[in-house]
Structure 1
Amino acid sequence: MIEIGSFIKLQRTKQGMTLGELADGIVSVSYLSKIENLKTHASPEIIRLLCNRLGIKLDSSNEDVIKEKCEKWYGMLFEVNDQQEIMDTYQEIQEMMDKNLSDSLLMFEIHKIRYFTMIGEIDKALKKINELNEIANNFNPTQQFYWYKFKGNYYSVNRDYNQAIYFYKKSEEKMVRVDIGEDEDADLKYTIAVTYSELRNTLEAIDYAKEALSIFMKQYNFHRCAQCHIVLGISYRRIKMYEKAIKNYNLAKHLAELNNNKQVNQQTTYNLGNLYSTIGNHEKAIQYYREVVEDDAIYPQEKLTAITSLIKEYYNVGKLDETKEMIQIALDIVDSVKNSVYYKQFYYIIYTYTYLINKENENFKSLVKDKFIPYLKKNGDYGNLVTYSNMLANHFASQGKYKESVKYYKLANKTYEKLINL
């Protein structure tokens, strides 16, 4: 059951009310602080007065209904579901929470971090984290498990993967103390695998993906199995075990088709393009990238990811007309992802190749040197840092600026060494 002090503190913080404003005429500020921090038990009359000022009814008659709706909503946040339904259910629960003292409140508030992150309201997710920090010391082990996991989600979306893995591992520590079920166990293992993959800790990514896969296989969860096979495919590609990579991608594609999951199918197709690009089979890479781009059901961000890959492939094989075609398509839709954390990367890639093709040398140099390379360094994107450092080095060499050229060749080589040692 939620402690009344934690409930009062949470509601006061959400409403932007100071201790003094809530305490005025009811209790002293110091006494209210003790109530909120569970250092004293207030009388029922004081609790009633404080809740009245907060606009909260001390009514638990709807507890069973609230709990049932919350459990349904938590499940909706797990899988790919209709976003409007998720948002409508959230509003319905919120209205009930605003009027009732519910044992489900803290868990609902913690799940809001996941919810806001999922719908792209990143600022609201951070605000919720800051609100809950005030009472996090009072969370029970189950609440702590989700608290750490969803904080990890927040940092992952912001591409701070080191912070994300820190919180995911804290969540994993709590998991041994609570009964959360195999679904949550597998989901956390998969999430850790993805994060290790982003950090290019390939062996850890493989281990966690295999653990998650073994659970999802027992549950016949084809969607999640396919996601695990994609992580394994990416990992094996990175350590140049290409046959294993292709095997896992094909398994992912087969499972996605069985489950009629277009999004996973698109992800697999794109990653097959990456694999063939890596081994120098540009025709096959282009074939897979185009398959993604030409899918009408694809989201703009995924489409731009495939388009920018096609821009690079076409340019590298000297097909400039096709490169220009892809640049124009990218320019037509790039503004639709302005709120994405990947927007800048799309923008920089599009204009890097635009300036190259149009021989706008000063614009190219200024963009790549002063903006794109610092951006890649900041985000730890070593793969692209190697690519664009070499590109800039080649540009300087072609202009006879050998001192500048050597500087960026060295950056590319140093970054590559770091990349293969990760």
Structure 2
Amino acid sequence: MEYGKALRFHRVKQGLTQNQLADGIISAAYLSKIENDQTVPAVEVLELLYERLGLDFNESTLSHPSKEKLKEWYEAIVFKRHEDARELRDELVQQKNTLENHQMYIFFELFRIRYLLLESEVEKAYETWENLRHHKDSFDEKMEFYYHLITGLIKYYKGDFNDSYQELMEAKNYSSSIVIESWETSDLFYLLALSTSQANHISASIFYADQALEMYQSHYDLSKSADCHIVRGINYSRLKNYAKSLENFHLARKIALQTNNRNQLNLVYINIGTLESRLMNHKTAIESYITSLKYNDLDSTFKQDFLLNTLHSLVLEHYRLGDNKGCLEWIHKGAQELTKYPSLTYEIHFSFYKKIINDDPSLSEFLENKVIPHFQEKKDHIYIIRYSMFLADLLEKQRMYKKSSSYLRLAIQLLNKHSQLGGILL
């Protein structure tokens, strides 16, 4: 057992300095060496230090009653068994001394972050992660693995997809030197597929999705296999391999219908709509988007965002068909949803199409001063491109050629850099 790391953890947790803990027992300098595992002190010294911290020196982490329960909890979280995860969390909290043990506390907090993400409590998860970082010096290799994996998830939920990918790769590096379950390996590959997809590393995403899919299929895990097919479908669509993309979406839909996974069906139909839109099949895209709405149950922040995204897509498809009446109907439905689920981004989207249909003279100013700056701040390149090109065309018609060309250049630069955007992920 690494007593030094445990001592440092409990000292920091209790807000003691090295001088306060060491006073009358050993020197602060010697305590520093113990905490950094640079020396092995006498058992008598350790017993005195533990006693001052109010801890049982003879406590064994290996035989801790919560160890197996903790892993069981994490498995329920990874496989999104919400009820099981809630019950196991309550059991762990109630078990005596679970959170007083160094290793148990660290693992509990790491797994709790992922549990909070599962429950869509992103800000609380982020706060827990921030607090846990103070104890990073006391982590062993297994803790480091979970820490980097959880950090990758935090970055993903925050929209920092490249950072997410880098953290997950760190977790992958640690996984080679520790023992983890096969389902944890497949989970890591799937998370790598997600992060690389969102970071637009298409080949890497397909590679990791393939690795995860092979493992999930070997364990007959239908739900996770469907998730992988959705990721593959999105990335093949970006590569313009639309036949392969549709094949994966249909496979995901087939599985989701068998398992009655409404969330996956929602995602499948949204992404099929996106694919059909790319193929200029606007009526078929509309049908897919409308079908996706049937499976949106609004039980999470993501599903709320999926709903607004789908309503915006329906507005766009009707606009592309020149159907202003249909466009305004979906704008109205979008405005109704915004009263329940406020979003400045979608408020801007709906306002733009309303202004253009009504030939609003303030449209150019709206695009220049509110729309494009908003998406630049969010680094949402696809909409910077779309709205910049529209503004460039509008300014050209107004004979404002210099300003028009500047927005056209902005759009072209981003288009060249981010030419394969698109797709909605979990």
TM range (shorter): 0.7 to 0.9
Closer/same/farther in 2, CA of residues 33 and 324 from structure 1, 3 Å limit: farther
The one-letter code matched in structure 2 to 1:175 is: S
Q: Partners in 2 of 1:303 and 1:14 — Cα distance? A: 43
Q: Partners in 1 of 2:10 and 2:86 — Cα distance? A: 21
1:302 maps to which residue? 306
1:323 maps to which residue? 327
Question: Any gaps of 5 or more consecutive residues in structure 2?
Answer: 422-426
Residue 80 of structure 1 aligns to a residue in which SS?
coil
Q: Partners in 2 of 1:68 and 1:78 — Cα distance? A: 16
Which has the larger displacement, 66-75 or 125-134?
125-134
* The one of 49, 52, 58 aligned to 2:52: 49
Question: Any gaps of 5 or more consecutive residues in structure 1?
Answer: none
Q: Partners in 2 of 1:264 and 1:357 — Cα distance? A: 34
2:93 maps to which residue? 94
Q: Does 1:71 align with 2:71?
A: yes
How far off its partner does 1:50 sit? 1.4
The one-letter code matched in structure 2 to 1:74 is: Y
Q: Partners in 2 of 1:232 and 1:131 — Cα distance? A: 36
Post-superposition CA distance 1:74-131 (Å, at most 9, x none): 011112222x653453344234356643643322222233223333333443343343
Q: Partners in 2 of 1:313 and 1:199 — Cα distance? A: 26
Q: Are 2:98 and 2:104, in contact at CA under 8 Å, matched by a contact in 1? A: no
How far off its partner does 1:304 sit? 1.4
1:333 maps to which residue? 337
1:211 maps to which residue? 211
Return the TM-score normalized by structure 2.
0.85
The one-letter code matched in structure 2 to 1:248 is: N
Residue 65 of structure 1 aligns to a residue in which SS?
coil
Alignment of 1:241-320 (within 5 A): 241-295=241-295, 297-298=297-298, 299-320=303-324
Over the matched positions of the two proteins, sequence identity in percent amounts to 26
How far off its partner does 1:164 sit? 0.7
Closer/same/farther in 2, CA of residues 12 and 43 from structure 1, 3 Å limit: closer
Closer/same/farther in 2, CA of residues 43 and 213 from structure 1, 3 Å limit: closer
The one-letter code matched in structure 2 to 1:417 is: N
Q: Partners in 2 of 1:61 and 1:270 — Cα distance? A: 47
Q: Partners in 1 of 2:115 and 2:142 — Cα distance? A: 18
Q: Are 1:26 and 1:49, in contact at CA under 8 Å, matched by a contact in 2? A: no
What RMSD in Å do the two structures reach over aligned CA positions?
3.0
Which has the larger displacement, 86-95 or 73-82?
86-95
How far off its partner does 1:279 sit? 0.7
Closer/same/farther in 2, CA of residues 11 and 335 from structure 1, 3 Å limit: farther
Q: Partners in 2 of 1:45 and 1:327 — Cα distance? A: 70
Q: Are 2:263 and 2:296, in contact at CA under 8 Å, matched by a contact in 1? A: no
1:224 maps to which residue? 224
Closer/same/farther in 2, CA of residues 418 and 59 from structure 1, 3 Å limit: same
Post-superposition CA distance 1:15-56 (Å, at most 9, x none): 6x352796497767666655544456443133122137xxx9
Residue 420 of structure 1 aligns to a residue in which SS?
coil
How far off its partner does 1:201 sit? 1.6
Post-superposition CA distance 1:358-398 (Å, at most 9, x none): 44443x44443334433433444332322121122233234
Closer/same/farther in 2, CA of residues 99 and 213 from structure 1, 3 Å limit: closer
Closer/same/farther in 2, CA of residues 231 and 248 from structure 1, 3 Å limit: same
Closer/same/farther in 2, CA of residues 102 and 373 from structure 1, 3 Å limit: same
Which has the larger displacement, 87-96 or 65-74?
87-96
Closer/same/farther in 2, CA of residues 29 and 198 from structure 1, 3 Å limit: same
Residue 120 of structure 1 aligns to a residue in which SS?
coil
Q: Partners in 1 of 2:33 and 2:236 — Cα distance? A: 55
Closer/same/farther in 2, CA of residues 134 and 37 from structure 1, 3 Å limit: farther
1:122 maps to which residue? 122
Q: Are 1:304 and 1:346, in contact at CA under 8 Å, matched by a contact in 2? A: yes
Q: Does 1:388 align with 2:367?
A: no
Closer/same/farther in 2, CA of residues 151 and 26 from structure 1, 3 Å limit: farther
Closer/same/farther in 2, CA of residues 301 and 88 from structure 1, 3 Å limit: farther
Q: Partners in 1 of 2:339 and 2:28 — Cα distance? A: 50
Q: Are 1:145 and 1:175, in contact at CA under 8 Å, matched by a contact in 2? A: yes
Q: Are 2:8 and 2:138, in contact at CA under 8 Å, matched by a contact in 1? A: no
Q: Partners in 1 of 2:365 and 2:37 — Cα distance? A: 57
1:413 maps to which residue? 412
Q: Partners in 2 of 1:62 and 1:174 — Cα distance? A: 21
Q: Are 1:110 and 1:146, in contact at CA under 8 Å, matched by a contact in 2? A: yes
Q: Are 1:226 and 1:252, in contact at CA under 8 Å, matched by a contact in 2? A: yes
Q: Are 2:73 and 2:88, in contact at CA under 8 Å, matched by a contact in 1? A: yes
Q: Partners in 2 of 1:369 and 1:177 — Cα distance? A: 53
